[in-house]
Chain A
């Protein structure tokens, strides 16, 4: 119950907002905040209540109701450590997203209702253990994403929104194809993941797995920014309003990587073996490609957008290691990048762009931002440092664990991964320096804009502090998440993805 309450509170919030009369429209942000806080509270409570002991089952808080029994569809939700990490992440990003949207005055009811619909859908995906149910939640996200970007976005928003939506739908089409084929191929009328990924018997014939795995994995990974199908992400992130950029980078991309791990890799272990190297190569290409493109951007938001591709490349590489270090690192990286990516987009979109109306790094450099909005400078610096993977922040422990896993699995891949780490440092420092600490060959910076920028508001400060605190906390106490995650891989469901290098 405590789990399903997460998405119920989000959907209830959305419904409540739609019922608000016009004159109370500004109340919608309070409703959204309350609903997001409730979601975070439920997720955190579930994490606290999760029983780590080996005696307890890995997947807890199970709810199992028949839905469409003729088709073998049931309402089956639950959570293990992997789910919980993602659920807590969703709650945090939801709260921060509302805080960073506090200034939305244009049609606030519709904005927050769509926002909460996305949150509810994402909450649902992360706790579904019925494949059909997972897909339903997965698809709920699509339309609100489109409207939020097309109606409240900036730069080229209608193009960005449509591109992002069509990529998502194309990915979903691939997923749906495999979903339709599963009852026929398995001969069993069920979408229950525990039954489909049963390690005791091989449910699917190898020939089927060989084509179904790449189709399903690609379908999900489109959303995770798999190179070369990633181009929707930077365009979409840039066009989106701040809270939606945060959502996209923070949790929606994780829908892809999470589902790829939870479904594609567990259900088709034979197919995974066949295609593992191919997808590892694509992941490595994403790391290097994303980082290099980020290095060449003039637009600050595009830099952050492409950095997401690089960071998500680490996630996908970690998944393909198929050992405990790489996999748990990948899950931790999903969490960590969700927080850090969200923070970066918050600074760029809300703190800077809403005030200066430019994202050109050279133009921003002339505005003397470190004096005008010192809090934004501080936040961006912290986020950059965390993003580069400095020890003490969550990014370090995550990427370090992935690299450890990659070393055990395929040492050659450390070369592109290492290159990616170096280039990430380079483009992050470049963005930081160009935007906030430019060198001025002609002496003093122009003081224009210094006085005209509005000070950072309280909601922004609260949101930024929340995200910074979380990335620090996980950096210092990774075991809060890592223990349940490690525990989860030691289960019948996830066992099938572990190939080598146990512990």
Chain B
């Protein structure tokens, strides 16, 4: 038994060890950026390899640690996104405390991976904190910069409030159902206790923070803009994947019986309202942004809305569609942040004006950004389009969601406007002459991510089929309200 638990947690253990080694390296050879980065990446690949080599599944310690093919897949996705953030950090983070920053990314990744691999409310909360605390520190990592400090403080304050919501919600659920295990909560067949519904609402509120959905979205623009860009990339991609995966699992297993029905409102209605508010607010506010990172933040809020729309529909097919879309979205956003990192380094900022003439100075990078933003805007044949299509069409299996899909389509049409403004600066507005371009690992990563978005657009089955296999049977499908 214990032996198996250890085996299941081997990737996480490797990551923790790597982090410790990296911290040690930071003390002994603080100037050696390249070796430190390489060591971090090596540990990451080792962890991924061990995850692939020992595909042990099962539920241990009364569901405290529970691994199935689906959670394994998402652990790998999160690990990959964390390594992307490591590469970005390797190119941009300051010399001082360089090793610590990479170790923090790894610790955050461990938290996110644990988040995917548990069926227990207590463990969920612990893993969530383990994710959040390194991210708070990373957001404030540029200690000398006011905006970074502000970002870290905001992220921390709103994060702790939402954690309080979550813990209170969990305790109410536990109080009514008498268990913290998801499957047992689902089996609790008492009456629709108002206390339980309050607990569900509070928990969802707490998780809304993680995915940057209304009403806990306030931190996103400041953190995306103020935090070091590599940290923002991790918060926007890996953390979002973990949050959505957790939310989907929570709703599809533990809370499935309370999706709501025409007779009494459940989480379906609540999520629908949250999704609508996020879609509208994110897309409208993004229209007036002049900083690309802030624009990406509002776009993230809008995308949280699209994802919640899929969850609100409560369809089994939507479950898979949401997971597909969040992976595509995270890949795209991580790539977009990579472009921002290169532009910040070479043009000195992330305002749209700093993107002027990028198509001439770095054509490949410009085409990559075109791919990312067009994918976010849902232009075929890119992955973002097929993701949205799958998401919306599966959500329509619940006819009550039609109004939300109409709203999302209208908002999505509007969203092309702000993405085009950025692309206009890249492709149309002439830029300054003689900006030196530097080759960097970030550029390579960006190109790989763009290729992934393209390939997934042409061959969505590369991801869709494994997802469907892993999700089948997709736990307990939620009831149609």
Interface on A for B, CB 8 Å cutoff?
Answer: 18, 68, 70-71, 107, 110, 132, 135-136, 139-140, 142-143, 146-147, 150-151, 158, 162, 165-166, 169-170, 172-173, 176-177, 179-181, 183-184
User: What distance in Å separates the Cβ of B310 from its nearest Cβ neighbour in chain A?
Assistant: 12
Residues of A within 8 A of B393 (CB): 71, 180, 183-184
The yes or no answer to B88 lying at the interface (CB within 8 A) is no
User: Can you list 26 pairs linking A and B with CB atoms under 8 Å apart?
Assistant: A68-B461, A70-B461, A70-B464, A71-B389, A71-B390, A71-B393, A107-B360, A132-B389, A135-B380, A136-B385, A147-B423, A147-B427, A150-B427, A151-B427, A158-B424, A158-B428, A162-B417, A172-B413, A173-B409, A173-B410, A173-B413, A176-B389, A176-B409, A179-B389, A180-B392, A181-B402
In residues 443-475 of chain B, which contact A (Cβ within 8 Å)?
A: 460-461, 464-465, 468
Report the bound CA distance from A143 to B416 in whole Å.
Answer: 10
Chain B residues within 8 Å of chain A by Cβ, number? 37
The yes or no answer to B250 lying at the interface (CB within 8 A) is no
The yes or no answer to B397 lying at the interface (CB within 8 A) is yes
Residues of A within 8 A of B379 (CB): 139-140, 142-143
- Pick from B370, B410, B468: contact of A143, CB under 8 Å: B370
Q: Are B427 and A110 in touch, CB under 8 angstroms?
A: yes
User: What distance in Å separates the Cβ of A72 from its nearest Cβ neighbour in chain B?
Assistant: 10
Q: Are A177 and B390 in touch, CB under 8 angstroms?
A: no
User: Which chain A residue shows the least CB distance to B461?
Assistant: A68
Q: Are A166 and B396 in touch, CB under 8 angstroms?
A: no
Report the bound CA distance from A401 to B115 in whole Å.
Answer: 68
User: What distance in Å separates the Cβ of A248 from its nearest Cβ neighbour in chain B?
Assistant: 18
In residues 357-387 of chain B, which contact A (Cβ within 8 Å)?
A: 359-360, 363, 367, 370, 374, 379-381, 385-386
Which of A139, A143, A172 gathers the greatest number of chain B CB atoms within 10 Å? A143
Q: A147-B428, A177-B405 are in contact. Are A166 and B417 (CB under 8 A)?
A: yes
User: Which chain A residue shows the least CB distance to B396?
Assistant: A184
Which of B367, B390, B397, B420 gathers the greatest number of chain A CB atoms within 10 Å? B420
User: What distance in Å separates the Cβ of B216 from its nearest Cβ neighbour in chain A?
Assistant: 29
Report the bound CA distance from A169 to B360 in whole Å.
Answer: 27
The yes or no answer to B406 lying at the interface (CB within 8 A) is yes
Interface string of B337-367 (1 = CB under 8 A from A): 0000000000000000000000110010001
The yes or no answer to B412 lying at the interface (CB within 8 A) is yes
Q: Are B464 and A180 in touch, CB under 8 angstroms?
A: no
User: What distance in Å separates the Cβ of A131 from its nearest Cβ neighbour in chain B?
Assistant: 12
Residues of B within 8 A of A132 (CB): 389
User: Which chain B residue shows the least CB distance to A107?
Assistant: B360
Report the bound CA distance from A110 to B366 in whole Å.
Answer: 12
Q: Are A150 and B428 in touch, CB under 8 angstroms?
A: yes
Report the bound CA distance from A158 to B424 in whole Å.
Answer: 9
Report the bound CA distance from A132 to B381 in whole Å.
Answer: 11
Residues of B within 8 A of A147 (CB): 423, 427-428
Residues of B within 8 A of A184 (CB): 393, 396-397, 399
User: Which chain B residue shows the least CB distance to A171?
Assistant: B413
- Pick from A70, A166, A180: contact of B405, CB under 8 Å: A180
User: What distance in Å separates the Cβ of B412 from its nearest Cβ neighbour in chain A?
Assistant: 7
Say whether chain B's binding surface is mostly helix, strand, loop, or mixed. Answer: helix
Q: A68-B460, A110-B427, A176-B409 are in contact. Are A181 and B420 (CB under 8 A)?
A: no
- Pick from B360, B416, B461: contact of A166, CB under 8 Å: B416
User: What distance in Å separates the Cβ of A148 from its nearest Cβ neighbour in chain B?
Assistant: 10
User: What distance in Å separates the Cβ of B369 from its nearest Cβ neighbour in chain A?
Assistant: 12
The 9 residue pairs across chains A and B that have the minimum distance between CB atoms = A136-B380, A173-B413, A151-B428, A169-B413, A180-B393, A150-B428, A139-B380, A173-B409, A184-B396
Report the bound CA distance from A324 to B389 in whole Å.
Answer: 36
Residues of B within 8 A of A142 (CB): 379, 416
Q: Are A162 and B386 in touch, CB under 8 angstroms?
A: no
User: Which chain A residue shows the least CB distance to B370?
Assistant: A143
- Pick from A150, A177, A179, A180: contact of B424, CB under 8 Å: A150
Report the bound CA distance from A391 to B109 in whole Å.
Answer: 74
Q: Are B417 and A70 in touch, CB under 8 angstroms?
A: no
- Pick from B381, B392, B406, B413: contact of A136, CB under 8 Å: B381
Q: Are A139 and B385 in touch, CB under 8 angstroms?
A: yes
Report the bound CA distance from A132 to B420 in whole Å.
Answer: 24
Residues of B within 8 A of A143 (CB): 370, 374, 379, 423
User: Which chain B residue shows the least CB distance to A69?
Assistant: B461
In residues 208-222 of chain B, which contact A (Cβ within 8 Å)?
A: none
Interface string of B422-444 (1 = CB under 8 A from A): 01100110000000000000000
Report the bound CA distance from A176 to B409 in whole Å.
Answer: 8
Report the bound CA distance from A183 to B396 in whole Å.
Answer: 9
User: What distance in Å separates the Cβ of B429 from its nearest Cβ neighbour in chain A?
Assistant: 9
Report the bound CA distance from A151 to B431 in whole Å.
Answer: 13
Q: Are A180 and B389 in touch, CB under 8 angstroms?
A: yes
Report the bound CA distance from A342 to B367 in whole Å.
Answer: 30
Report the bound CA distance from A181 to B392 in whole Å.
Answer: 9
Residues of B within 8 A of A180 (CB): 389, 392-393, 396, 405, 409
Residues of A within 8 A of B363 (CB): 18
User: What distance in Å separates the Cβ of B290 from its nearest Cβ neighbour in chain A?
Assistant: 16
Residues of A within 8 A of B410 (CB): 173
Q: Are B420 and A146 in touch, CB under 8 angstroms?
A: yes
Report the bound CA distance from A170 to B409 in whole Å.
Answer: 9
